[in-house]
Chains A and B, each alone.
Chain A
């Protein structure tokens, strides 16, 4: 089975940097995804990590350490529109197809 943990809520200030952590336990790690979900909308894909290190995409970066079962999503130059839930999801090679297990999500509130 898999266990994925992320903080329930975080608050940050517009223009600042915020780091959202995700820890996981899985028997056959085969990739980690981050999704953004605005209230009442579909989750949208942000990033994918399968090797250790940092993946950068504009204001968003995602880091992975497989030995520690740890990832984080880094959001720079926060904007009000970044207020959303951020979902961490892990793929296990022992699962069929492209099946993912999701964490409970972190609700980020950006304040002026």
Chain B
């Protein structure tokens, strides 16, 4: 089974802090994704990566950056956290570029910015 692991289930940070959310997958997947999930808005893509050191902006990249130094790890960075970044953050990975390959999700990190 694919395992996508996010470093924290719950995280509380203060406004202005730099926040790191870590995600690791163990199935040698090329693609990795970061989403945020908010009530009424569904899953929205922040950034994704289709290879090491490669990154692409999703629908809502403002206020975020990412890092993919190794194939198995994809980090989401909030450069200066703000209260509107309080949300559930979900990491996902998928194999290659075949369209029939599903994305596999981690359990999520519920981030609160005070």
Contacts and interface: CB of A to CB of B under 8 A. Distances in A.
Interface in A15-42: 30-31, 33, 40-42
B103 A42 contact: no
B42 A87 contact: yes
B48 A50 contact: no
A42 B106 contact: yes
A41 B48 contact: no
Contact of A31 (B58, B100, B105, B106): B100
B42 A102 contact: yes
A44 interface: yes
B43 A48 contact: no
Interface in A73-112: 87, 89, 91, 93, 96-105
A84 to B, nearest CB: 14
B99 interface: yes
A40 B4 CA distance: 16
B99 A87 contact: no
Interface in B92-114: 94, 96-108
A12 to B, nearest CB: 21
Given A30-B99, A98-B31, A99-B58, 16 more contacts: A40-B108, A41-B108, A42-B4, A42-B90, A42-B108, A43-B90, A50-B100, A87-B43, A97-B31, A97-B56, A98-B96, A99-B45, A99-B48, A101-B59, A104-B42, A105-B42
